[in-house]
Structure 1
């Protein structure tokens, strides 16, 4: 049997590339799946959501193979696969979805009802998402292949844009989902909380959707400098504890049309001290978003956070000023992004040079063997999106 290596979570702040089992066409319970493929992983990315687990902020078990952002080449087909072909280069949504249940039929693949016995929704290499083996590896199995996978129409063209197309598995559709659900359109004034890769993907999506101004707030000066170089208005949250004042200083008005939370539950309070405050972003967005506006929340929130600083947050309870949002008739959109709803149109935007997302998020290719260092650098706030290259196929 062929060998395989993958990035394994070994406990708080520790990951290691180890030998792992070569993928089998079966679900985590051991049941055979014929509607599946095995991929040679061409690219797989380190995500901020992975960092939550590695920091020990979830109930992720040790020994888990990480990775939910996957692009790969089909090398083996299950007997029930009809339309995906061997040799196809495909983008893999991070959602594991059956394609048959009520929510999948509604294009809500982030909450598939059949792939996770514990709750709605499945994902590769992620805690509480069904136990599916992750794709930060040389090879991975993808179930329900005809439904989930989208082949790139021209393999050579796709490889020439692989640093852009690798973002289709998660962060680009996640950012787009946040912007769409926040109601971003032509002429919108937009605020994005967080200048990490998802925040930058959100900002890029807002521009594609026609926003007039896109502001990004963060405390990381390196990330803010990169955001500014990409054409977005940076707001340094360490300079004031009042987001409304910063927005007024930037654009001459105190409210925005649409706002998006690209931070999630490990948020820190605005200002110089920056103490952890899980609901601070949500509360600030209710303050700055206009009446009858919308707030997109693609940032991750968890049901259990063992590393939380207060007891309520350990079970996902946040101190939200929800009455303010109610009084302003805000609409809140939360949850895992249903990637299949967006990634075909976003693929076309990339292939036709409308969306240079690799440049926008500063995609940085490293070999699989350097994954642990990539995690460490990303955790320190590097203004980069690390792309793992398991087989040395991405070049310089």
Structure 2
């Protein structure tokens, strides 16, 4: 078989669908591929026919030109697919299996992986711990917003769905297992959400909505979602969240007080990251806003889950410090309140099997919560534009027209 089509970052504000190489079980040279990874043999890997692959807010950071991503980078780290070719060293995954791919690439052999910290695998990225498909400075593993993709370390990483027919009926939910659902869930778990908790979620984009739904699954009594976008707040309200519009009223603590009778919550989750804006009608970009505000509104002894992306290189930042990830954070406030901070990539494999069972049993309704919207591969460039404008949808690409 030869030929492939993929969504490619071309320049700031622009993606294209291009013809590209059919994947091989060798990591070849290309845009963003670390030179030390070129020629890496992956007989432990598989080739997938992509069934669904999602557009993520993390992709949008690159497309906006807010990272050092090179032109020509094939995008996409949220991948679900059917195995059509297996490497020589793959023992348990078989052709025909329908699988979810964790966005973290992990070898299963290093100290981090053995301790279930697959988000910081030591063997897949020559520059630093941790890797991902189709993402800048992550080792150069080719992205999955494409018709076909190669996935290494298949036996360790892949989550096989137990029944293909049942899985295809719930594919818009199950496609969220590669990243967004575990990421939102990890944010809620990291924030210490438990039955009876009051929770503030900063950001009503797809990850924020996933975190809010996860907090509900964990038994939170009240989940409050804050954003500047009224359409996204309406989506949060549609599945039972309280909401605060920070464009209309920048007093976060005051709005929380009106809802709870107290200006503080037990737990808070940052689902915004480094492109955060200040609050109020005349807001501008202020990257430390969310971190400082969640410290303000979280009770003493509470925890802060921070799945929102923060980077070490942002060429479009508002000041020189922010360009290298140095933000003006009120760390003294967090120290004084004995806050616990949990940051970094989500270790997807800690959660994805349990969340799969929650979906298959009908307990979790993640596609509904994030407003999953199916599109074709050709529709991807417009979907990126719509997502950048703030529409309240989670775009799911169906490259082969396989989803009913």
TM class, shorter-chain normalised? Answer: over 0.9
Query: How far apart are the structure 2 equivalents of 1:282 and 1:97?
Result: 29
Preserved CA contact (<8 Å) 2:43 2:88? yes
Classify the secondary structure of the residue corresponding to 1:140: strand
Task: Find out whether 1:178 has 2:187 as its counterpart.
Answer: yes
Query: How far apart are the structure 2 equivalents of 1:293 and 1:332?
Result: 9
Classify the secondary structure of the residue corresponding to 2:225: strand
Residues 77-88 of structure 1 mapped to structure 2, 5 A cutoff: 77-88=86-97
Q: Which residue of 1 aligns with 2:34?
A: none
Query: How far apart are the structure 2 equivalents of 1:125 and 1:5?
Result: 14
Q: Which residue of 2 aligns with 1:16?
A: 16
Q: Structure 1 stretch 132-141 or stretch 246-255: which is displaced more? A: 246-255
Q: Which residue of 1 aligns with 2:294?
A: 285
1:249, distance to aligned residue in structure 2 (A): 1.1
1:347, distance to aligned residue in structure 2 (A): 0.2
List, as ranges, runs of 4+ consecutive aligned residues in structure 1 with deviation greater than 3 Å. none
1:340 aligns with one of 345, 349, 352: 349
Task: Find out whether 1:238 has 2:242 as its counterpart.
Answer: no
Q: Which residue of 2 aligns with 1:384?
A: 393
Query: How far apart are the structure 2 equivalents of 1:315 and 1:79?
Result: 42
1:32, distance to aligned residue in structure 2 (A): 1.6
Query: How far apart are the structure 1 equivalents of 2:396 and 2:40?
Result: 32
Query: How far apart are the structure 2 equivalents of 1:33 and 1:360?
Result: 37
Preserved CA contact (<8 Å) 2:224 2:242? yes
Q: Which residue of 2 aligns with 1:248?
A: 257
TM-score, normalising length: structure 1? 0.99
Query: How far apart are the structure 2 equivalents of 1:273 and 1:262?
Result: 22
Count of matched residue positions in the alignment of Structure 1 and Structure 2: 395
Query: How far apart are the structure 1 equivalents of 2:42 and 2:64?
Result: 33
Query: How far apart are the structure 2 equivalents of 1:175 and 1:91?
Result: 17
Query: How far apart are the structure 2 equivalents of 1:168 and 1:2?
Result: 29
1:273, distance to aligned residue in structure 2 (A): 1.2
Q: Which residue of 2 aligns with 1:275?
A: 284
Unpaired runs of 5+ residues, structure 1, are none
Q: Which residue of 2 aligns with 1:296?
A: 305
* Residues 165-215 of structure 1 deviation map (CA, whole Å, 9 limit, x = unaligned): 000000000000000010000000000000010000000100010100000
1:41 aligns with one of 34, 45, 50: 50
Structure 1 vs Structure 2 CA RMSD: 0.6
Task: Find out whether 1:92 has 2:101 as its counterpart.
Answer: yes
Task: Find out whether 1:50 has 2:27 as its counterpart.
Answer: no
Q: Which residue of 2 aligns with 1:168?
A: 177
Query: How far apart are the structure 2 equivalents of 1:352 and 1:2?
Result: 39
Preserved CA contact (<8 Å) 2:201 2:223? yes
Residues 1-396 of structure 1 mapped to structure 2, 5 A cutoff: 1-27=1-27, 28-395=37-404
Query: How far apart are the structure 1 equivalents of 2:153 and 2:131?
Result: 12
Query: How far apart are the structure 2 equivalents of 1:295 and 1:312?
Result: 23
Classify the secondary structure of the residue corresponding to 2:40: coil
1:282, distance to aligned residue in structure 2 (A): 0.3
1:240, distance to aligned residue in structure 2 (A): 2.0
Classify the secondary structure of the residue corresponding to 1:40: strand
1:135, distance to aligned residue in structure 2 (A): 0.1
* Residues 3-59 of structure 1 deviation map (CA, whole Å, 9 limit, x = unaligned): 100001101011000001100101341122110000000000000000000000000
Query: How far apart are the structure 2 equivalents of 1:14 and 1:208?
Result: 37
* Residues 122-165 of structure 1 deviation map (CA, whole Å, 9 limit, x = unaligned): 10000011100000000000000000001100000000000000
* Residues 281-319 of structure 1 deviation map (CA, whole Å, 9 limit, x = unaligned): 000000000001000000000000000011100000000
TM-score, normalising length: structure 2? 0.97
Query: How far apart are the structure 1 equivalents of 2:329 and 2:338?
Result: 15
Unpaired runs of 5+ residues, structure 2, are 28-36
Query: How far apart are the structure 2 equivalents of 1:147 and 1:10?
Result: 33
